[in-house]
Amino acid sequence: MSTFYRQIGHVDLTRLLGVDEGDHRSLSSTVRYCDPFAPPAFCPLANAFWNGVGMFYGQGFASADDVVGHEMTHGVISHHADLFYWGQSGAINESLADVMGEIVDHRHRGPGDSPHSWTIGEDLPIGAIRSMKHPGRFGQPQTMTGRRYARGADDNGGVHTNSGVGNRTFYLISQGGRQAGRTVHGIDGPSLRKSATLYLDVIEHLVSGSDYADLGAVLDRSCHVLARHHTVGMTGGDCRNVHRATRATRLRTTPPRAKQPPDAPMACPRGAGPVRLLFDSEKGHPASRFDAGPTWVRAPNQSVFPPVSANATSGRASWFSSEAAGHHGQLPDDASRRPPGRPPGVPVVPAVGVSWRPARTSTAPR
């Protein structure tokens, strides 16, 4: 993975994700991991995850290069787009991790690997878990309007299901195909260098609150920038096919099964007064200073548990506060989604965030 990221974007993974060990930094990976709060029958863990600091793999999970690439890419995402792990932004987070993991898998094929196989996790003890080419084989949607598109709070708003839309989009971009009356010609050769470079640029330019419509726009923008500079041989024709792929999977369409509420207007409820802009730096009138209470932190923040992502729809940071357990809107505590190390019975509480621009933040809800 370190070689891959260095080759496609001059990214030093050890510098980006490494743990400080005094005189050097190193990538942290734990294998044969056991959840200390899980029953003995569930040890070792039959899964893998990135916890904000390092990678953790259950028995046999570190042997699948696409899974290793997936988890390390979660780390890369956390240092760039920092996609909020909920709903569409969470599904994009999962999809981008799948994309980069599968590219690595194809660039380093082992004995028995087929260039025509586009499954994730085929080398796992439990077998393949997703397909980039045919998401429906694993119960995932391949368009925003598909009947398999998940809704509700389960799995953080269906992040591991709805990632199928992003995965299918990548497959069409890379390998081509026909969908929704559109023919897409793949942009990639055997090295998948064009799609690898494109998707790294996308990771570096999305923001934490991005949705699938934003992904479509950034794919277009990133492709045109690469083509303008003749990077990795990207062409205008490639970009037309990238755009066709985003149209084929209907990235810009709100899913009928999980409609998004409109953004809140920049105004307070009737009778509550006008919007006030509050400064959060040393500048501005003292009466207009935002006074963060003890529950608030500036996000992103990796020093709290669980780590807090930016959750910003503009800019790169936000203010974030955890609600007390029992408040309305509390998310269900599901052991299968509980952060590693969080014991049963301790609720995973929701939080509110305020998207901010440097030096000031708004009291209007987002």
CA angle 262, 266, 267 (to 5 degrees): 110
- Compute the distance between CA of residue 52 and CA of residue 54 in angstroms, rounded to an integer: 6
DSSP H or E segment with residue 322: strand 318-322
Judge whether 71 counts as a catalytic residue.
Answer: yes
Q: Which among 123, 118, 30 has a CA at the least distance from the CA of 71?
A: 30
Q: Are 92 and 208 in contact (CB under 8 A)?
A: no
Q: Are 245 and 186 in contact (CB under 8 A)?
A: no
Judge whether 160 counts as a catalytic residue.
Answer: yes
Cβ partners under 8 Å of residue 100, min gap 6 = 69, 70, 73, 76, 196, 199, 200
DSSP label at 294? T
Catalytic residue (choose from 70, 74, 106, 160): 160
Q: Are 76 and 17 in contact (CB under 8 A)?
A: yes
Catalytic residue (choose from 70, 71, 94, 106): 71
Handedness of CA 332, 333, 334, 338 (dihedral sign): positive
CA angle 121, 123, 76 (to 5 degrees): 45
DSSP label at 361? E
Catalytic residue IDs:
71, 160
